[in-house]
């Protein structure tokens, strides 16, 4: 019998010592972003709505997003969380409402709902790590004001059954596409399926300005409401920013969630790089998967539409949470970027959510007079999601990887599997 190679974590030689250039849009930042940022700085007009030599980079970014995604309206914001806030505001979600969210997501999805004054209700994900329509159906009540499918790591949720359900019940869908700009489902870009959608431009996302976000919608009224919300209810949007918004006779207070011209200039260049970024990540993912082949004990995450996958990572389910922990640690020791997404836990395991805490703990969505049902969260409430999250290991795929990099990733996965799964 051939003895397995000694793992780096056990004192063996790591597959990789040179760091891998892992990253999405951030890995491609270059001279064009530098020039675009400098141009805005030199214009001395860093605010989107007015300035001495305003270049209107934020307007241009919004237009470019609309063209890229094939959607009518976009509103740039200061972050992805801000985009979710503006989208929920556009939908009129507030006190007494319930919003169905996946039990597996980044905490921002839940925070935005709580900050809107609404109660998050958690639904199961399936083997695609996307929202399971059947469980969503079981979680709907007469208080459900929206459903938020989250497209994790450039992989679409199974949207067809979800949209069939929400349309039949007349419930709005807000897509959290923060991690998935440019990825598609049956040929159509994510973020164009729901009534409204949110993207993030944070450093780890496909298109980045360090921080930033964008709301998109095909609905004129939702657009104007989101645009006004991110601008204190319509401080500048209604006057300087193209004279829009005045036609809505429904005043409401908002926040300042505006994007800066500097961020928009950088994001605009990054958006132009998106097709090449996705092509490179997809090609590298295919190379790695081909080289790894099939391994007993590693089950690939299901892709609802494999052709639409943005390719930013590979997730496998190991036989147990314990094995996942050892697998990820061993792979990291081999010099390969590997994580257990969200620490292998459902989002409601976060203490603030599990204990239903807000800053004041006075009233608020979880103890709202408008919501008599004292909602209770506890571990075990979405058992399938807990099982899947615990068993998942995720390997990053960088756009700049060359053939050797891909070969190293694949070799390290096979090496670790031969010991940890033995
Ligand atoms: C990154 C992210 C957000 C929040 O975006 P920020 O720009 O960091 O505020 C929201 N939802 C998901 C799923 C994300 O990954």
Spacing, Cα 178 to ligand 1 middle (Å): 5
For residue 80, report the distance from its CA to the centre of ligand 1, in Å: 5
Tell me which residue of 187, 176, 182, 184 sits closest to 152, measured CA to CA. Answer: 176
CB 190 within 8 A of CB 183: yes
**For residues 247-262, average pLDDT:** 88
Q: How far is the CA of 177 from the centre of ligand 1 (A)?
A: 8
For residue 248, pLDDT over 70 is answered with no
Average pLDDT over residues 268-278: 98
pLDDT at 2 over 80: no
Say if ligand 1 is within 6 A of residue 79 CB: yes
Fold of 31-270: 3.40.640
Q: Quick check: CB of 178 below 6 Å from ligand 1?
A: yes
The mean pLDDT value for 357-368 works out to 81
If you measure from the C-alpha of residue 134 to the centroid of ligand 1, how many angstroms do you get, rounded to a whole number?
Answer: 25
Q: Which of 105, 116, 179 to mutate to test the pocket of ligand 1 (most atoms within 8 A of CB)?
A: 179
Residue 70 Cα to ligand 1 middle (Å)? 22
CA torsion sign, 98 to 104 to 105 to 111? positive
Atom of ligand 1 nearest to the CA of 213: 7
Say yes or no: CB of residue 105 within 6 Å of ligand 1: yes
Residue 41 has pLDDT above 60, yes or no: yes
pLDDT-derived band at 247 (thresholds 50, 70, 90) equals low
Beta strand 196-200 with 174-176: parallel, antiparallel or unpaired? Answer: parallel
- Please tell me the pTM assigned to this model: 0.96
Q: Which tens digits make up the pLDDT trace of 330-347?
A: 999 999 999 999 999 999
Does residue 202 line the site of ligand 1, with CB under 6 A? yes
Q: Which mutation among 152, 200, 213, 267 tests ligand 1's pocket best, with the greatest number of atoms within 8 A of CB?
A: 200
User: From atom 5 of ligand 1, which residue's Cα is the shortest distance away?
Assistant: 80
* Three-class SS of the chain: CCCCCCCHHHCCCCCCCCCCCCCCHHHHCCHHHHHHHHHHHHHCCCCCCCCCCCCCHHHHHHHHHHHHHCCCEEEEECCHHHHHHHHHHHHCCCCCCEEEEECCCCHHHHHHHHHCCCEEEEECECCCCCECHHHHHHHCCCCEEEECCECHHHCCCCHHHHHHHHHHHCCCEEEECCCCCCCEECCEECCCCCCEEEEECECCCCCCCECCEEEEECCHHHHHHHHHHCECCCCCCCCCCCCCCCCCCCCCCCCECCCCHHHHHHHHHHHHHHHHHHHHHHHHHHHHHHHHCCCCCCEECCCCCHHHCCCCEEEEECCCHHHHHHHHHHHHHCCCCEECHHHHCCHHHCHHHHCCCCCCCCCCHHHCCCCCCCCCCCCCCCHHHHHHHHHEEEEECCCCCCHHHHHHHHHHHHHHHHHHCC
Closest ligand 1 atom, residue 105 Cα: 13
CA distance 166 to 111: 22
CA 363, 368, 372, 376 torsion-angle sign? negative
Average pLDDT over residues 401-414: 98
Residue 1's pLDDT band (boundaries 50, 70, 90)? Answer: very low
Q: Is 241 a residue whose pLDDT tops 60?
A: no
Q: How far is the CA of 93 from the centre of ligand 1 (A)?
A: 19
Nearest CA residue ID for atom 10, ligand 1: 108
Whole-angstrom Cα distance, residue 237 to residue 229?
10
- Is any atom of ligand 1 closer than 6 Å to the C-beta of 176? yes
Q: Give the pLDDT score at 360.
A: 85
Distance of CA 179 from the midpoint of ligand 1 (Å): 7
Is ligand 1 within 6 A of the CB of residue 179?
yes
Minimum CA distance residue for ligand 1 atom 13 = 106
Ligand 1 atom nearest 84 alpha carbon: 10
pLDDT band at 76 (very low <50, low <70, confident <90, very high): very high
CA nearest to 180, candidates 145, 153, 211, 150 = 153
- Domain positions in the chain are 31-270
**Ligand 1 within 6 A of 106 CB?**
yes
pLDDT at 124 over 70: yes
CB neighbour list of residue 167: distance below 8 Å, 6 or more residues apart: none
The whole-chain average pLDDT of the chain stands at: 94
Distance from residue 154's CA to the centre of ligand 1 (Å): 13
Which residues, at least 6 apart from 48, have a Cβ–Cβ distance to it below 8 Å? 56, 57, 58, 59, 76, 241, 258, 259, 260, 261, 264
Which residue of the set 6, 139, 205, 362 is catalytic? 205
Q: Is 205 a catalytic residue?
A: yes
Tens-digit pLDDT profile for residues 162-213: 999 999 999 999 999 999 999 999 999 999 999 999 999 999 999 999 999 9
Per cent of the chain over pLDDT 90 is 89
- Ligand 1 pocket member 150 (CB < 6 A): yes
List the single range of 75-89, 244-258, 280-294, 332-346 with lowest mean pLDDT: 244-258
Whether ligand 1 lies within 6 angstroms of the CB of 149 is answered as no
Reported as a pLDDT band with limits 50, 70 and 90, residue 244 is low
Q: What is the pLDDT of residue 251?
A: 85
Residue among 80, 150, 177, 179 to mutate when testing ligand 1 (max atoms within 8 A of CB) = 80
Q: What spacing in Å lies between the alpha carbon of 180 and ligand 1's midpoint?
A: 10
The Cα 110–Cα 398 span in angstroms is 28
**CA 40 → CA 52, 62, 123, 154, 407, distances in Å?**
11, 17, 44, 31, 41
102: Cβ below 6 Å to ligand 1? no
């Amino acid at each position: 019998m051939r003895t397995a190679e000694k793992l780096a974590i056990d004192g063996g030689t790591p597959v990789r010592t040179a760091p891998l250039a892992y990253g999405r849009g951030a890995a491609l930042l270059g001279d064009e972003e530098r020039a675009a940022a400098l141009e805005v700085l030199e214009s001395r007009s860093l605010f989107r709505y007015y300035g001495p030599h305003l270049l209107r980079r934020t307007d241009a970014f919004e237009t470019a997003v609309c063209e890229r995604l094939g959607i009518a309206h976009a509103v740039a914001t200061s972050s992805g969380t801000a985009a979710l806030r503006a989208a929920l505001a556009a939908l009129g979600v507030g006190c007494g409402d319930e919003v169905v969210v996946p039990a597996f997501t980044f905490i921002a999805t839940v925070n935005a709902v709580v900050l809107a004054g609404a109660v998050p209700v958690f639904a199961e994900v399936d083997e695609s790590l996307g929202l399971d329509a059947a469980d969503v159906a079981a979680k709907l009540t007469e208080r459900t004001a929206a459903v938020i499918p989250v497209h994790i790591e450039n992989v679409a949720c199974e949207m067809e059954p979800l949209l069939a359900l929400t349309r039949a019940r007349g419930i709005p869908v807000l897509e959290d596409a923060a991690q998935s700009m440019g990825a598609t489902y049956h040929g159509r870009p994510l973020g164009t399926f729901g009534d409204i959608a949110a993207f993030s431009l944070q450093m780890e996302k496909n298109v980045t300005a360090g921080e930033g976000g964008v709301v998109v919608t095909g609905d004129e009224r939702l657009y104007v409401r989101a645009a006004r919300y991110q601008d204190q209810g319509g401080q500048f949007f209604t006057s300087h920013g193209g004279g829009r918004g005045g036609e809505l006779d429904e005043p409401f207070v908002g926040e300042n969630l505006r994007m800066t011209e500097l961020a928009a200039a950088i994001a605009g260049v990054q958006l132009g790089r998106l097709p090449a970024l996705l092509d490179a990540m997809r090609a590298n993912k295919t190379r790695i998967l081909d080289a790894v082949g099939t391994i007993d004990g590693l089950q690939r995450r299901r892709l609802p539409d494999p052709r639409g996958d943005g390719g930013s990572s590979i997730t496998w389910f190991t036989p147990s949470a314990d094995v996942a922990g050892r697998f990820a640690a061993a792979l990291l020791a081999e010099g390969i970027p590997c994580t257990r997404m969200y620490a292998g836990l459902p989002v409601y395991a976060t203490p603030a959510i599990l204990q239903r805490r807000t800053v004041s703990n006075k009233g608020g969505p979880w103890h709202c007079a408008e919501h008599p049902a004292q909602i209770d969260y506890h571990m075990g409430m979405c058992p399938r999601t807990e099982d899947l999250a615990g068993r998942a290991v995720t390997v990053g795929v960088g756009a700049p990887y060359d053939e050797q990099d891909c070969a190293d990733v694949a070799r390290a996965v096979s090496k670790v599997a031969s010991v940890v799964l033995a």
